[in-house]
C-alpha cells in the first residue's frame, strides 16, 4: 500500500511525537506541509492519504484514481468532500473524542485567565509594580470567584459534558443549549439559546461547524448576553461572526472573550479580532498537548490498520466498500 502524509507538522514538530505507527503500515511518503494546490500532485498514485486541514476535493479524487482511504489527524472533516469520497469509493475516517480533556482544560485556562486576571497581574509584576509597592499585596485589578456564576455551554457532546463537570467542581450553575436535550440528564440544565445567553456569566462554544451553527454568535446573539459576560470559543472559528464579536468587545456589549479558533487559519493580518479590546487569542492549541497528540496518532494508525484489514472504524461517509 502506498501512503502519503500531507501535513505532518500539524501534529509533530521536531519529532516530539512519532509517526512510526502510521508509516510502518505502508510505503509511506511524509510531507511536513502541503499547499492545497499541490495536494493531488503529492498524493499521485497513492492508495491512502492522511492529513489534517488539506482540502481533499472532487478534483483531487479525479486526479488520484487509486485513492481509496482518507485518514484525518482530527475529529472535524469539513476539509473533505464526502460526496466525492462516496462517488469514488473512498473511506474517510476521523478520530473522535481524543481531545476532550485538553480542550476542556484550555477552556478553563481562558476563563481563569479572565476572572483571575493572570496576564494583567503578571504584566504589572514584570513592569516593576510589586517591587515598588509598599504592601505585601496589591489588588487594584478586580478578580472574581467562579462559584455561583452561571456557565452556559453551547453544544453538549464529549467536550461540552467535560466542561460542565469542571464547572460544577468550581461551584458554577451549568446550563446548556443542545440539539439533544434529552441526553443531558443531571449534567446540566437544558435551556433555549435565548435563555442561555441571558443568564450566563460565561458562554462557551462546544458545537461542530454546520449550516445551523455557522455564525450563530453574531450581533443579535451577542446583544442578548450580559454586559459582564465572558465569551469563549474553542470549537470552530466559523461559529462566530468575527466582525460582530470585535464590535461587541470594542463597544462594551460584553466584557471579554477568549478565542482559540478563527474562521481563517493561520490568522489573517486583517482579522477583525486582532487588536480588539479585552480579548485573549491563542493559535488553535487547545487540542495540542503532547499526550493528546500521542493519543491521536495511535487512533490514526489503528484506523488505517483496520481499513487495510477490511474492518474500517470511525468512518464518517457512506463509501462503497
- Residues annotated catalytic, as ranges: 236, 265, 284
Cell of 254: 460584553
C-alpha 84/C-alpha 316 separation (Å) is: 13
β-bridge mates for residue 202, sequence order: 151, 230
Q: Say if CB 256 and CB 249 are below 8 A apart.
A: yes
Cell of 281: 487569542
For 215: left if phi > 0, alpha if psi spans -120 to 50, otherwise beta; the answer is left
Cβ neighbours of residue 37 under 8 Å, at least 6 residues apart?
none
N- to C-terminal Cα separation, the chain: 17
C-alpha 306/C-alpha 313 separation (Å) is: 7
The interaxial angle of helices 100-116 and 118-126, nearest 10 deg, is 60
The DSSP code for 56 is B
Cβ neighbours of residue 46 under 8 Å, at least 6 residues apart?
2, 3, 4, 29, 64, 66, 67
Cβ neighbours of residue 79 under 8 Å, at least 6 residues apart?
51, 53, 54, 55, 56
Cβ neighbours of residue 63 under 8 Å, at least 6 residues apart?
40
C-alpha 163/C-alpha 173 separation (Å) is: 12
Amino acid at each position: 500500500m502506498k501512503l502519503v502524509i500531507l501535513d505532518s507538522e500539524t501534529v509533530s514538530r521536531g519529532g516530539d511525537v512519532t509517526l512510526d505507527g502510521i508509516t510502518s503500515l505502508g510505503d509511506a511518503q511524509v510531507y511536513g506541509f502541503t499547499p492545497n494546490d499541490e495536494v493531488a500532485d503529492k498524493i499521485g498514485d497513492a492508495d491512502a492519504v492522511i492529513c489534517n486541514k488539506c482540502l481533499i476535493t472532487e478534483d483531487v479524487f479525479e486526479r488520484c484514481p487509486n485513492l481509496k482511504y482518507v485518514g484525518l489527524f482530527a475529529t472535524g472533516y469539513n476539509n473533505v468532500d464526502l460526496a466525492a469520497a462516496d462517488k469514488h469509493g473512498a473511506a474517510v475516517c476521523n478520530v473522535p473524542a481524543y481531545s476532550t480533556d485538553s480542550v476542556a482544560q484550555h477552556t478553563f485556562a481562558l476563563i481563569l485567565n479572565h476572572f483571575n486576571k493572570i496576564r494583567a497581574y503578571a504584566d504589572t509584576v514584570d513592569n516593576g509594580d510589586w517591587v515598588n509597592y509598599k504592601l505585601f499585596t496589591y489588588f487594584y485589578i478586580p478578580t472574581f470567584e467562579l462559584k455561583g456564576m452561571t456557565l452556559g455551554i453551547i453544544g453538549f457532546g464529549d467536550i461540552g459534558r467535560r466542561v460542565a463537570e469542571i464547572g460544577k467542581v468550581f461551584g458554577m450553575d451549568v446550563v446548556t443549549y443542545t440539539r439533544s436535550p434529552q441526553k443531558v440528564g443531571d449534567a446540566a440544565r437544558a435551556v433555549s439559546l435565548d435563555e442561555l445567553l441571558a443568564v450566563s456569566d460565561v458562554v462557551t462554544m462546544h458545537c461542530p461547524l454546520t449550516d445551523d451553527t455557522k455564525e450563530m454568535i453574531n450581533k443579535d446573539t451577542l446583544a442578548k448576553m450580559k454586559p459582564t459576560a465572558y465569551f469563549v470559543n474553542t470549537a470552530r472559528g466559523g461559529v462566530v461572526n468575527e466582525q460582530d464579536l470585535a464590535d461587541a468587545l470594542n463597544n462594551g456589549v460584553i466584557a471579554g472573550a477568549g478565542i482559540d479558533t478563527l474562521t481563517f487559519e493561520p490568522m489573517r493580518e486583517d482579522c477583525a479580532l486582532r487588536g480588539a479590546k479585552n480579548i485573549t487569542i491563542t493559535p488553535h492549541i487547545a487540542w495540542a498537548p503532547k499526550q493528546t497528540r500521542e493519543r491521536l496518532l495511535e487512533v490514526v494508525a489503528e484506523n488505517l490498520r483496520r481499513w487495510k484489514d477490511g474492518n474500517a472504524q470511525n468512518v464518517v461517509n457512506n463509501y462503497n466498500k
